[in-house]
């Protein structure tokens, strides 16, 4: 057996496992940032979403994304990854219907698993933004739609040899394909759901503190760890220079974003808020996801610094707009997914880690790359937002997407699951309603 295939398969599988592990990270961040009375519900959503993704992506998602077809959608080998394929053969030797991903010399199931964990990430992003009020059933159904009809189409455009790839748009590990897709789908949901009860009442913004910052911190560390699979794994082959480069740009962006988020919140809010610090880290990671292999370590620090500032402003901004996102998913994944994608057009340095992207605006490449990135950002926004809005609207009409007010007040744990997350601990029940006497 070819050594290169073995090594690449190990790399792809090990990094895919780390990305899988990010499901734990999301579960802990989201439940930690929400109230105890909705904890079981959030845990359940984050748990079931990867099961749904697994089946949805196997059934149809993979085929639409990587099947040979037209620039907009895959058409061959649609169902159950059952098209002809002789992976790990590459290049000329490859015979099969998934040619868009035939450049990486690993077995078909390794490709599938790696792509699946990315699909799962896009789906799980939605969960946090719609938390504390969405019906469990409706969330499960939306996740099927997401992993079968929304994510794979965008994926086809960018990573499946579709029209955006042909336009010269670059998204190394998915600032757009994964994060902003998740973000736009979430935004559509949030708008149709409306804010949580009591969040914007009497003309005030009432903060609703999360119940467990230990869990949220734990989750953020796990996500940071998982990102060391997400970004360097996206080489899908063990190219030593590239993966080493990507590990460092990824880490530096996170580090810089943490420090800038701390500074900004210290200045704007008077104290270094831990929630903002954690969001800052994630913002840096999301922002560097597209450019991680195309920019220098120095640029990664700048990108991180800006991401950390952006996320703090975005969290405050969304609240001003009365767009209620309990965990900051929009500020992290949508805002910084867009920002990171555009950064490729600004900071890219041709072949810095091997890929011929051409130079970005700041490195003398002119607007060409930037415009390709912008096209990507806009078209993805339009498609994802509209399709998601329609999907949410249909769910809303057919079965409802929001729990009853009574259930929301008592907590979704009892209403949706009949469980309590912490049955033995005495909780300060009224906290959420008693807060909010703003300075």
Partner 1 sequence: MKKIEAIIRPAKLEAVRRALEKVGYSGLMITEIEGHGKQKGVVQQWRGEKYRLELLPKLKIEMVVKNEDVERITKAIIENAKTGEIGDGKIFVSAIDEAIRIRTGEKGEIAL
> Using CA atoms, how far apart are residues 180 and 121, in angstroms rounded to an integer?
11
Picked from partner 1, a second copy, none, the partner binding residue 110 (CB below 5 to 8 A depending on kind) is a second copy
* The two three-digit tokens of residue 1, written as one number: 């057996």
Nearest to 257 by CA among 231, 271, 278: 278
- Is 142:391 a contact under the CB 8 Å cutoff? yes
Q: Closest Cα partner for 409 from 208, 215, 216? A: 208
368 binds, among partner 1, a second copy, none (CB under 5 to 8 A by kind): none
- Residue whose CB is less far from a second copy, 14 or 93: 14
Task: With H, G, I as helix, E, B as strand and everything else as coil, classify residue 168.
Answer: coil
Judged by CB under 8 A, the residue of 202, 214, 397, 406 near a second copy is 214
If binding is defined by CB under 8 A, does position 274 make contact with a second copy? yes
* Residue 370-409 contact track with a second copy, rule CB under 8 A, x = bound: ----------------------------------------
Nearest partner of 438 among 337, 319, 260, judged by Cα:
319
Asked if residue 297 binds a second copy (CB under 8 A), the reply is yes
Pattern 147-186, binding to a second copy, x per CB under 8 A?
A: ----------------------------------------
Q: How many residues does the chain have?
A: 439
Position 190 contacts partner 1 (CB under 8 A) = no
- Of 53-61, 126-134, 247-255, 271-279, the window that binds partner 1 (rule: CB under 8 A) is 271-279
The closest alpha carbon to 283, from 380, 180, 190, belongs to: 180
Are the CB atoms for 311 and 283 separated by under 8 Å?
A: yes
Q: Which does 130 bind (CB under 5 to 8 A by kind): partner 1, a second copy, none?
A: none
Distance (Å, whole) CA 77 – CA 68: 8
Between 87 and 379, name the residue whose CB sits nearer to a second copy: 87
**Does 409 engage in binding with partner 1 (CB under 8 A)?**
yes
**With CB cut-offs between 5 and 8 Å by kind, which of a second copy, partner 1, none does residue 438 bind?**
partner 1
Binding to a second copy, residues 300-319 (CB under 8 A): 301
Q: How far is the CB of 215 from a second copy (least distance, A)?
A: 6
Quick one: which of 182, 275, 328, 358 contacts a second copy (CB under 8 A)? 275
Q: Does 24 bind partner 1 (CB under 8 A)?
A: no
CA–CA distance, 424 with 289 (Å, rounded to integer): 41
Whose tokens are 């219907």? That residue is 97
Single out the segment in contact with partner 1 by CB under 8 A; choices: 107-115, 148-156, 233-241, 408-416: 408-416
Taking CB under 8 A as the rule, does residue 321 contact partner 1? no
**What is the C-alpha to C-alpha distance for residues 396 and 398, in angstroms, rounded to an integer?**
6
**Contact predicate 61/148, CB 8 Å:** yes
CB of 179 to partner 1, least distance (A): 19
User: Residue 131's CB: how many other CB atoms inside 10 A?
Assistant: 28
Conformation bin of residue 364: beta by default, left when phi > 0, alpha when psi is -120 to 50: left
Select from 66-74, 186-194, 204-212, 309-317 the region that touches a second copy (CB under 8 A): 204-212
CA 342 from centroid of its chain's CA atoms: 16
**Of the residues 218, 316, 323, 355, which one makes contact with partner 1 according to CB under 8 A:** 316
Tell me the C-alpha distance between 311 and 285, whole Å: 12
Instruction: Please report whether residue 265 would count as binding partner 1 according to CB under 8 A.
Output: yes
User: What number of other Cβ atoms are within 10 A of residue 406's Cβ?
Assistant: 8
Q: What is the maximal distance between C-alpha atoms in the chain?
A: 69
Among 169, 238, 302, 310, contact with a second copy (rule: CB under 8 A): 238
Smallest distance, a second copy to C-beta of residue 59, A: 10
Which stretches of the chain bind partner 1, using CB under 8 A? 205-210, 265, 268-271, 273, 275-276, 279, 312, 315-316, 319, 328, 409-410, 414, 418-420, 423, 426-430, 433-439
């Amino acid at each position: 057996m070819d050594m290169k295939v073995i090594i690449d398969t190990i790399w792809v599988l090990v990094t895919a496992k780390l990305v899988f592990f990010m499901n734990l990270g999301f579960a802990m961040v989201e439940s930690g940032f929400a109230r105890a009375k909705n904890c079981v519900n959030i845990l359940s959503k984050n748990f079931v979403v990867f099961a749904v993704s697994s089946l949805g992506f196997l059934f149809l998602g993979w085929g639409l994304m990587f099947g040979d077809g037209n620039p907009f959608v895959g058409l061959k080998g649609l169902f159950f990854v059952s098209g002809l394929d002789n992976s790990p053969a590459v290049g000329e030797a490859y015979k099969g219907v998934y040619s868009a991903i035939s450049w990486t010399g690993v077995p078909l199931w390794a490709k599938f698993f790696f792509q699946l964990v990315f699909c799962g990430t896009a789906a799980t992003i939605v969960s946090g933004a719609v938390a504390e009020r969405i019906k469990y059933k409706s969330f499960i159904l939306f996740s099927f739609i997401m992993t079968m009809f929304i994510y794979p189409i965008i994926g086809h455009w960018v990573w499946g040899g579709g029209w955006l790839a042909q336009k010269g748009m670059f998204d190394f590990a998915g600032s757009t394909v994964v994060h902003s897709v998740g973000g736009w789908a979430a935004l559509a949901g949030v708008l149709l759901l409306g804010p949580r009860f009591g969040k914007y009442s009497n003309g005030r913004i009432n903060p609703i503190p999360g119940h467990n910052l230990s869990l949220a911190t734990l989750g953020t560390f796990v996500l940071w760890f998982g990102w060391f699979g997400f970004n360097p794994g996206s080489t899908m082959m063990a190219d030593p220079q590239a993966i080493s480069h990507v590990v460092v740009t990824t880490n530096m962006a996170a580090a810089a974003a943490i420090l800038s988020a701390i500074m900004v919140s210290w200045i704007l809010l008077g104290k270094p808020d831990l929630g903002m610090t954690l969001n800052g880290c994630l913002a840096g990671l999301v922002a560097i996801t597209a450019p991680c292999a195309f920019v220098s370590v120095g640029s990664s620090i700048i990108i991180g610094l800006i991401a950390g500032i952006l996320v703090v402003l975005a969290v405050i901004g969304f609240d001003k707009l009365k767009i209620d996102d309990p965990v900051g998913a929009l500020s992290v994944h949508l805002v910084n997914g867009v920002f990171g994608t555009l950064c490729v057009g600004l900071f890219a340095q041709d072949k810095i880690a091997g890929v011929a992207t051409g130079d970005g605006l700041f490195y003398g490449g002119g607007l060409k790359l930037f415009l390709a990135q912008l096209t990507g950002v806009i078209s993805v926004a339009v498609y994802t937002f509209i399709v998601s809005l329609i999907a949410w609207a249909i769910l809303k009409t057919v079965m409802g997407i929001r729990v009853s007010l009574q259930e929301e007040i008592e907590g979704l744990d009892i209403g949706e699951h009949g469980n309590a997350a912490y049955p033995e601990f005495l909780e300060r029940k009224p906290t959420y309603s008693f807060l909010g006497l703003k300075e």
